[in-house]
Copies of this chain bind each other. A is one copy, B any other.
Amino acid sequence: MEDGVCSRIYVKGGGGCSGESGGGGGKGSGSSKCGRWNPTAEQVKVLTELFRSGLRTPSSDQIQKISHHLSFYGKIESKNVFYWFQNHKARERQKRRKLSLPQQQHFILPPSSNLQRMFVFHLLFIPQFI
Contacts and interface: CB of A to CB of B under 8 A. Distances in A.
Interface of A: 1-14, 33-36, 41, 60, 63-64, 78-79, 81-83, 97-103, 105-110
A61 to B, nearest CB: 9
Copy count, this protein chain: 2
Given A78-B99, A79-B101, A7 B10 contact: yes
A35 B5 CA distance: 6
Nearest to A59: B99
B10 A8 contact: yes
Nearest to A5: B10
B9 A9 contact: yes
Most-contacted residue by chain B among A7, A63, A97, A108 (CB, 10 A)? A7
